[in-house]
């Protein structure tokens, strides 16, 4: 047996037992040198162990090179790179688990991003403070750290959440190495086993070497990700810029179209129709009282109602659009004044509405506000002219003649047609709105309007004062959203009768207010002597004339005694026979006179209110006669 035997075993990479067998055979040979044989045996085993270590190192290097090559080939997103790193680390060290955490320098923490070999999800979102546990210690010191038994290692500072995560995965032996790039620790790479045992220095060195390559791969992936993100941001910015350019061009086109319509004499209807071609859906304009002024053709009634309801909601006067109940509402403003609102109900849900759509709506609102302001300025100028004429007519300074007819003709007013005079009242704070509303009513119905002593006064073509009063009271109350009280008088067929009719209508309005009948309408005929008693401007002579005027004028023109017969009739308890005895005439004569009186006064003898008014008028007439006689005597 010679040393060549041990050399052959080394070449053949024989197991250790083969060396023992060869030594036993050599020692049994005659003349064997025991010391020399033992020396050669131990030298052969030492060489065998060195060969094994060298081979293991070469295999580790090859594995490390393979992992590095694979990492280079992974060029996708960061998460995929991290997963690849952890997967290869587990394979490289042949451990139960491998995972990786990244540092959060601002919070002085490292948090686990990826784990391979895990059986639970407790590791997710675990944040490890610097200095705590394996990860915190490595992240803070930038040096590898290994423990054969994590929970028994007194060198570590423990944290409840971190320990719970380790306990859930049954981790015992843990190795952590820093991920260092350009002198900065960016994270920690871990290898872990579920049984106790120290990690050999070769494993620490191998994982550290791999961590150095992994750090470069992470930074490269992050750089590529940042570049891709920057590229996407640039594309989005470019797309947004293009969209904004298209939107601006669309807004300018819509605005130019609206302004062209205005310059060509178009009104709100044309403006909202033009806006609809750009926005779609339905649009409507309401005034400051939320009454609809105009809306796009084809708007369903239920949608228009919903749009008006949305406009009723409290709104700011900033000129910015507000989303209200599925609609967009933009206030029309001029200075600090509200001129109403533009309401848009999109065809699609409002979450699909773009900022460009809202800007286009607000541009349209500006044009609509300008139109409203221009229209109201014209209306206000016309209302002043109409008001001046009515003021002159009510004060008696406008005399009938060519000048009056010319003024009236310019306004479309026909002074010689039957007219009703209406005196309207609303709470003082609503007087400006009431004035504007009555001016619009007067203009639309070829009448006149003005404001006198806190009341809005109208004169409208009408032969039925009571009916017209009720209509105006109802429509104005609905429009202003508050009770509007109306006193009515007429019809008046000549301008000279307007002052007297105004006095009657004013007396009726004041009487209604004193009777706490706000929101009602009444004429003198409907109020009777109540109007005389409660009307602030009512006169006894006016009341007498309204009740007895036709009879008095009949007596004066035909030399009859109807008034005397009427007085006697009531004085005798409404007995025709006793009245005939008192008047020294035949009862048939009394009956004929009463029939004539009935026709003249349109009287129903069975109406107690009417007969009471007649008796009061007769008594007032007797009181007024001496004064009339004195005036007539003074004029002679």
Q: How many helices and strands, by DSSP H and E, does the chain display?
A: 21, 16
Verify cis geometry, omega within 30 degrees of 0, for the bond prior to 491. Answer: yes
- Residues found in the chain: 636
Q: Which of 429, 404, 427 has its CA nearest to residue 414? A: 404
- 125, 100 in Cβ contact below 8 A? no
Give start and end residues of each alpha helix (H) in 515-607: 524-527, 529-534, 540-558, 562-571, 576-583, 587-601
Q: What is the pTM of this model?
A: 0.42
Helix (H, G, I), strand (E, B) or coil at 461: strand
Q: Which of 60, 58, 82, 61 has its CA nearest to residue 71? A: 82
Q: Which of 557, 553, 500 has its CA nearest to residue 524? A: 500
β-strand partners of 448? 459
Tokens representing 350 are 């409002």
Q: Which of 181, 100, 93 has its CA nearest to residue 134? A: 100
The separation between the first and the last C-alpha atoms of the chain, rounded to the nearest angstrom, is 181
DSSP string, 339-388: EEEEEEE-SS-GGG--HHHHHHHHHHHHHHHHHHHHHHHHHHHHHHHHHH
Contacts of 590 (CB under 8 A, 6+ apart): 565, 569, 576, 579, 580, 583
Q: Rounded to whole angstroms, how far apart are CA atoms 142 and 189?
A: 12
Report DSSP state, residue 561: -
Strand pairing category for 485-492 and 337-345:
unpaired
Q: Rounded to whole angstroms, how far apart are CA atoms 83 and 549?
A: 110
pLDDT, mean of each 10-residue run, the chain (636 residues): 65 74 74 75 76 62 59 67 85 90 91 90 86 92 94 92 92 94 90 93 86 82 79 85 72 67 70 81 83 85 86 65 83 77 81 76 81 73 76 72 68 84 92 88 86 91 92 89 91 87 87 84 76 53 77 88 88 85 89 89 80 78 55 36
Map tokens 């949608």 to a residue.
303
Continuous segment of H or E residues that includes residue 487: strand 485-492
**Dihedrals φ, ψ of 611, to 5°?**
-65, -35
Q: In the prediction, which pLDDT does 623 show?
A: 60
Q: What's the angle, vertex CA 272, arms to CA 267 and CA 277, rounded to 5?
A: 130
Q: Rounded to whole angstroms, how far apart are CA atoms 345 and 306?
A: 9
Q: Which of 608, 527, 526 has its CA nearest to residue 574? A: 608
Q: In the prediction, which pLDDT does 69 show?
A: 62
Helix (H, G, I), strand (E, B) or coil at 44: helix
Within 10 angstroms of residue 269's Cβ, the number of other Cβ atoms is 15
Burial annotation 369-395 (CB, 10 A radius, 16+ → b, else e): bbbbbeebeeeeeebeebbebbbbbbe
| Domains located in the chain, CATH noted | 3-69 (no CATH), 74-227 (3.30.450.40), 266-377 (3.30.450.40), 396-536 (3.30.70), 543-635 (1.10.10.2840)
CB-based contacts of 526-532 (< 8 A; 24+ apart in sequence): 526/466, 528/609, 528/610, 528/612, 528/613, 529/612, 529/613, 529/616, 531/504, 531/507, 532/507, 532/616
Residue 179 Ramachandran class (φ > 0 left, ψ -120 to 50 alpha, else beta): beta
Tokens representing 315 are 């709104």
Continuous segment of H or E residues that includes residue 103: strand 97-104
Q: In the prediction, which pLDDT does 135 show?
A: 92
DSSP string, 174-189: EEEEEEEETTEEEEEE
Q: Which of 390, 485, 378 has its CA nearest to residue 442? A: 390
């Amino acid at each position: 047996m010679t040393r060549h035997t041990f050399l052959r075993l080394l070449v053949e990479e024989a197991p250790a037992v083969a060396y023992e067998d060869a030594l036993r055979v050599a020692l049994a040979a005659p003349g064997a040198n025991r010391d020399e044989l033992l020396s050669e045996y131990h030298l052969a085993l030492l060489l065998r162990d060195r060969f094994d270590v060298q081979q293991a190192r070469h295999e580790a290097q090859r594995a490390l090179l393979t992992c590095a090559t694979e990492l280079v080939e992974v060029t996708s997103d960061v998460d995929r790179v991290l997963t690849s790193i952890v997967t290869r680390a587990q394979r490289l060290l042949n451990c139960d688990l491998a995972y990786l955490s990244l540092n959060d320098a601002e919070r002085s923490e490292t948090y686990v991003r990826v784990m391979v070999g895990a059986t639970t999800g407790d590791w997710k979102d675990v944040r490890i403070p610097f200095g705590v546990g394996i990860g915190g210690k490595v992240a803070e010191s930038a040096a590898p750290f290994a423990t054969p038994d994590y929970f028994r290692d007194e060198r570590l500072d423990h944290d409840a959440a971190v320990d719970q995560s380790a306990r859930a995965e049954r981790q015992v032996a843990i190795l952590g190495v820093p991920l260092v790039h350009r002198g900065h620790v960016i994270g920690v790479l871990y290898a872990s086993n579920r049984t106790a045992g120290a990690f050999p220095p070769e494993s620490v060195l191998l994982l550290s070497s791999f961590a150095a390559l992994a750090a470069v791969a992470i930074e490269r992936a992050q750089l590529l990700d940042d570049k891709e993100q920057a590229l996407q941001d640039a594309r989005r910015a470019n797309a947004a810029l293009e969209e904004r350019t298209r939107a601006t061009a669309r807004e300018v086109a819509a605005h130019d179209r609206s302004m062209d319509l205005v310059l060509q004499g178009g009104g709100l209807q044309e403006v909202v129709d033009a806006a609809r071609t750009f926005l779609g859906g339905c649009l409507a304009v309401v005034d400051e009282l939320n009454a609809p002024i105009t809306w796009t053709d084809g708007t369903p009634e239920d949608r228009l109602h919903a749009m008006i309801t949305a406009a009723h909601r409290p709104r700011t006067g900033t000129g910015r659009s507000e989303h209200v109940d599925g609609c967009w509402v933009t206030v029309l403003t001029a200075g600090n004044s509200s001129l109403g609102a533009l309401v848009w109900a999109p065809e699609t849900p409002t979450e699909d509405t773009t900022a460009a759509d809202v800007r286009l709506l607000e541009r349209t609102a500006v044009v609509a506000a300008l139109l409203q302001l221009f229209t109201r300025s014209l209306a206000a100028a016309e209302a002043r002219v109409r008001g001046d004429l009515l003021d002159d007519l009510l004060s008696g300074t406008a005399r009938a003649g060519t000048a009056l007819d010319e003024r009236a003709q310019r306004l479309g007013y026909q002074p010689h047609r039957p007219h009703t005079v209406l005196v309207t009242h609303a709470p003082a704070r609503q007087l400006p709105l009431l004035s504007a509303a009555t001016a619009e009513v007067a203009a639309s119905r070829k009448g006149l309007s003005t404001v006198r002593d806190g009341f809005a006064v109208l004169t409208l073509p009408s032969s039925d004062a009571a009916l017209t009063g009720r209509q105006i009271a109802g429509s104005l109350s609905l429009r202003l959203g508050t009770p509007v009280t109306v006193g009515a008088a007429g019809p008046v067929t000549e301008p000279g009768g307007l002052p007297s009719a105004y006095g009657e209508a004013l007396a009726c309005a004041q009487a209604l207010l004193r009777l706490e009948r706000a929101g009602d309408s009444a004429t003198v005929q409907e109020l009777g002597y109540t109007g005389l008693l409660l009307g602030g401007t009512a006169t006894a002579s006016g009341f007498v004339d309204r009740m007895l005027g036709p009879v008095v004028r009949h007596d004066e023109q035909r030399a009859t005694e109807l008034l005397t017969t009427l007085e006697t009739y009531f004085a005798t308890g409404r007995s025709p026979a006793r009245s005939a005895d008192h008047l020294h005439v035949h009862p048939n004569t009394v009956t004929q006179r009463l029939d004539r009186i009935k026709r003249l006064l349109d009287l129903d003898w069975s109406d107690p209110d009417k007969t009471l008014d007649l008796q009061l008028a007769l008594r007032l007439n007797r009181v007024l006669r001496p004064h009339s006689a004195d005036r007539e005597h003074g004029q002679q």
